[in-house]
Amino acid sequence: VGATTTTLLRDHGPQDPALASSPYDPPTVAVIRMDAVLEGMTERSALEAMIQAEYEAMRDKLLARRKQITTMQEEMMLLKPGTPEVLAQEKKLVGMRAEFELDQKRFSAEIQDKRGRLFNGLLSKIRTAAADFANEHDIDLVVQSKLALTPDMPPWHSVIHASERLDISADLIQMLN
């Protein structure tokens, strides 16, 4: 959480004299542009590089297996159709293609799962840092703005940290009773 990604809103007191007698001080609010914080984190860059390296290694293995399947298909075309050798090769190729497709799907799911877990870990670290920052700087409310993990994700806001002094539950209970 830095100066470039955090906006503090401080109220300089009530303008309306009727509000001056309120027992509640105006809250101090900070806004975090989560996309900017994530983009600026060196840990995120390192995790992205690690995921990319794993992706490329697995992609290379899959490409090698695809080439092996293609080579077997080409070799099989040179054999006389209907022979036991061709039938055995066809059976082997069917198994290899099925295994290849399953591995592709599994690999894609593993990368997505890993990326999700890593980003959730980063988001947790950011939320913890934001709460610590808020406590150190007497900020009552921290809101994240425009969490944009993907470009097509619409902007949205959610509370990351709220001080207990903003909780009006007891007052509402008293008012309602």
Write out the DSSP string of 10-60. Answer: ---S-SSHHHHT-SSPPPPEEEEEHHHHHHH-HHHHHHHHHHHHHHHHHHH
- Interval 129-144: pLDDT, tens: 888 888 888 888 888 8
Taking residues 109-126, what's their average pLDDT?
Answer: 89
pLDDT at 113 over 60: yes
Taking residues 84-106, what's their average pLDDT?
Answer: 92
| CB contact set of 4 (below 8 Å; sequence gap of 6+) | 36, 40
Backbone φ, ψ for residue 62 (5° rounding): -65, -40
| CB contact set of 153 (below 8 Å; sequence gap of 6+) | 147
Q: Quick check: pTM over 0.75?
A: no
Specify the DSSP class assigned to residue 155: P
